[in-house]
Structure 1
Amino acid sequence: MNNLLTGLKNILGVGLKPGSYLNILYLLLAFPLGIFYFVYLITGFSIGLGLLYIFIGLPFLLLTMFSWRLFARFEGLQARWLLKENVEHDSPARWSEASGFWNWITSRLSSKYTWKGLVYLLLKAPLGVVSFIVTITLASVSGVLIIAPFIYKFVDYELPWGAISTMPQALSLTAFGLVLGLLSLHIFNGLAAVFRWLSRNLLNSGQRLAVAE
């Protein structure tokens, strides 16, 4: 009995949890950020690789690498603030501690955090697009159904079984919208859990890769 009550509480109480709405904010931000990361990285790699033959490309590639490390750190902070996932970023040696420029560079190149962060940023674009479409679609449909009693006289609600023209019919749409809204919140939380898992596994600092001295 207690398990049943707990299950019902988890299902019906999702709308009262602040974390559900933080998850929605995260999912909405994932789309523009993911597109920005993808365009920035592809542009940086294209310019860097295209200009390698005149040695100007290397600075572009290094700048791109340092940029994506900063982006990965920002994503880790987002995961902390919005997803409540404890992400620890990498802290390689500072220039003053690295005994020279080359060691300073290799400390970053040899960090798993650098390359896992790159994978995360590249995954952010397609996942962000999917999350944005799902979030906007479900939230819009749920919202329109919930406010049906207030706008059914001004908006044509054409359903397969007929048009909505009375208050009882509009209230039935509201009830359906509330159910869909609760289901949508669980879907949003599930999508956020995917990002939480990726953050935990790709944005947490790890052991360095072996680099020949």
Structure 2
Amino acid sequence: MSSKLSSPYAFGDARTLARTVFGVAFRPQTYRNLCYLTLAFPLGFCYFLLFAVGVPLGVVSTIFVVGVPILLGMLAIASGLASFERRLTTWLLDVEIPTGERETPASLVGRVRRLVTDVGTWTAVVYLGTKLVVGVVAFEVTMLFLVTAVSLLAIPFVYDQPGVYVGVVTDAPVSLHPAVYFGWDEMLIGLETVITVSTWQVDTLGEALAVAGLGVCLLVFTLHLLNALAWLSGRYTRLMLRDRHGDVASEGNAVQ
């Protein structure tokens, strides 16, 4: 029996290539990924702010005993937020994260012991602390590429409106010096020209459509980039927030 690895990026013919590259804008999952990445920045900022205030406060307050309940409360909050992140990732990214069913200890001491000794609690703290990194990267990509692409796509509708200037303006003229040189019979023969660009304005429909075409290319590239970032984020979430108690139990049963 032979098996083949399938890939979403199949380049069998021109039609398949076009559907793979440009079809990204018509897939519902693309916009679920975008929604997930858009939420990553505010959620990551809230998590970072919570732990940046709560953890130092708990550490400093340990000399007054009250710091211990604060730190335990932070661990409990981290466990609850990790559960929320698992559901959010499954819902928006369609990434299944294994979770095990464990009996809740009846006593308060047992619950506290499991909270402190569970590896999943600490990986949740690390994950929530690094969520802001994903949010910042997604925010930068969105603002730098996605907003620029949408702006370029809107140019054919606004370029001829009164008071609207679409083009390039420089403080000083930019000079380009394309040149070609080659040696021939101990001589250097070349061609050099100078192109000076000071200002350039889109003032015809053809130019506006050409710029919009550039916007389409940038938009497609950005959506693929955001999809890749969402894929990596989903795998990172699965790695950090999966149930490790089940893994340990499975290993123990295998040894027995």
TM-score, normalising length from structure 1? Answer: 0.90
Equivalent residues of 1:145, 1:176 under 8 A apart: yes
Could you list the per-position Cα deviations for residues 75-132 of structure 1 after superposition, in whole angstroms to 9, with x for gaps in the alignment? 11110111110123455432xxx25222211222222221111111111112211211
Q: Deviations over 1:26-66 (max 9, x none)?
A: 11110010000001012110111010011000110011111
The corresponding residue for 1:10 is 20
Q: Which moved more, 1:9-18 or 1:51-60?
A: 9-18
* 2:154 aligned to which of 147, 167, 177: 147
1:24–1:135 CA contact under 8 A, matched in 2 = no
Gaps of 5+ in 1: none
Partner SS, residue 48 of structure 2: helix
1:24-173 to structure 2, matched below 5 A, reads: 24-89=34-99, 91-94=101-104, 98-154=105-161, 155-159=164-168, 162-173=200-211
Residues matched between the structures, number:
207
Q: Distance in 2 between matches of 1:89 and 1:57?
A: 31
TM-score (norm 2): 0.75
Whole-Å Cα distance in 1 between the matches of residues 49 and 11 of structure 2?
51
Instruction: State the 1:159 CA deviation.
Output: 2.9
C-alpha separation between the residues in 1 aligned to 2:148 and 2:115?
46
Ranges in structure 2 where 5+ consecutive residues have no aligned partner: 1-9, 170-196, 249-256
Inter-partner Cα distance in structure 1 for 2:57 and 2:227? 38
The answer to whether the 8 Å contact 1:93/1:107 transfers is no
* Structure ID, larger Rg: 2
Question: What is the alpha-carbon distance in structure 2 between the residues aligned to residue 172 and residue 76 of structure 1?
Answer: 43
The answer as to whether partners of 2:100 and 2:245 remain within 8 angstroms in 1 is: no
Q: Distance in 2 between matches of 1:34 and 1:108?
A: 23
> Hey, which bits of structure 1, 4+ residues long, moved more than 4 A?
none
Instruction: Find the aligned partners of 1:2 and 1:61 in 2 and give their Cα distance.
Output: 53
* Distance of 2:147 and 2:40 partners within structure 1: 18
Q: 1:203 to 1:50 in 2, by over 3 A?
A: same
Quote the sequence identity (%). Answer: 28
Structure having the larger proportion of residues in helix: 1
Determine if the alignment matches structure 1 residue 176 to structure 2 residue 214. Answer: yes
The answer to which structure, 1 or 2, has the higher relative contact order (CA under 8 A, 6+ apart) is 1
